[in-house]
């Protein structure tokens, strides 16, 4: 191998390393990491029986969920690593929300237990099934999940501030649909995908791929 080829390979390797660093060390990923680090803060306020500060911290944590995706799109820093970190942050925060609700408002939670169970299973089962199949967390980020999260957070706050209970109950069915769609996507794919907006889009893409193979064969 000549000097020029060696130099080109070296430059290429440096670019790949630099790109990998950019995929890890960027602002959207930092925001996602901040959301994960909010979990102990939420638990602290719950154990200290500070529901007011807990809800403020929760709203901030959910704001970071919106912010990291916005920054990734605006800065053109959408990466597979970022998608997985975002999904991990969501799972950690939603698990923490369930634990904190039990600590702070056990009476309300017992009253709403059927809906609470539906919501908890809706974010744990798709994650578990995806991990069993692909050996890693799925990061579909479907529109149905985004809508379910929005409705659930609003319903959660309204329920535990004792304004209304019906939005939380409605949220359970949004979560159920989102979970069924995520499980269907996991069953549909042979390997892991990220940022799949809906089952219908995935099915349409599969049909187009099949048509492309048929056309190529012809």
How far is it, in rounded angstroms, from Cα 45 to Cα 49?
Answer: 6
**What local confidence, expressed as pLDDT, does residue 17 receive?**
37
How far is it, in rounded angstroms, from Cα 213 to Cα 110?
Answer: 54
How far is it, in rounded angstroms, from Cα 218 to Cα 214?
Answer: 6
In 23-100, DSSP assigns E strands to none
Structure tokens at 180: 């069924």
pTM, entire model: 0.79
216 pLDDT more than 60: no
Structure tokens at 49: 């029986």
- Domain regions of the chain by residue span: 1-104, 111-218
Please report, for residues 62, 136, 154, the alpha-carbon distance to residue 100 in angstroms, rounded to integers and kept in the order given.
Answer: 15, 26, 16
Chain segment 88-143, per-residue pLDDT in tens: 888 899 999 999 999 999 999 999 999 999 999 999 999 899 989 988 888 888 99
Higher pLDDT, 214 or 52: 52
Chain segment 129-182, per-residue pLDDT in tens: 998 998 888 888 899 999 999 999 999 999 999 999 999 999 999 999 999 999
Structure tokens at 97: 């929300």
Residues composing the chain? 218
- What's the whole-number mean pLDDT along residues 179-199? 88
Residue in 74, 95, 92, 63 with CA at minimum distance from that of residue 26 = 74
Chain segment 26-84, per-residue pLDDT in tens: 888 998 899 999 999 999 999 999 999 999 999 999 999 888 878 888 878 778 787 88
């Amino acid at each position: 191998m000549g000097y020029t080829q060696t130099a080109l390979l070296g430059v290429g390797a440096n670019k790949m390393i630099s790109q990998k660093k950019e995929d890890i060390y960027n602002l959207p990923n930092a925001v996602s990491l901040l959301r994960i680090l909010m979990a102990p803060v939420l638990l602290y306020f719950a154990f200290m029986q500070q529901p007011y500060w807990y809800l403020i911290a929760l709203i901030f944590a959910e704001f970071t969920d919106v912010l990291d995706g916005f920054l990734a799109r605006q800065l053109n820093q959408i990466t597979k690593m970022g998608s997985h970190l975002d999904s991990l942050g969501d799972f950690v925060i939603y698990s923490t929300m369930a634990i904190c609700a039990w600590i702070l408002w056990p009476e309300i939670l017992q009253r709403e237990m059927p809906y609470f169970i539906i919501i908890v299973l809706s974010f744990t089962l798709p994650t578990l099934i995806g991990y069993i199949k692909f050996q890693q967390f799925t990061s579909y980020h479907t529109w149905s999940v985004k809508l379910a999260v929005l409705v659930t957070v609003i319903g959660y706050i309204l329920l535990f501030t004792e304004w209304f209970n019906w939005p939380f109950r409605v949220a359970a069915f949004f979560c159920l649909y989102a979970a069924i769609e995520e499980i269907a996507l996991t069953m549909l794919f042979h390997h892991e995908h990220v940022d799949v907006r809906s089952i219908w889009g995935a099915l349409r893409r599969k049909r187009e791929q099949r048509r492309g193979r048929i056309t190529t064969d012809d």
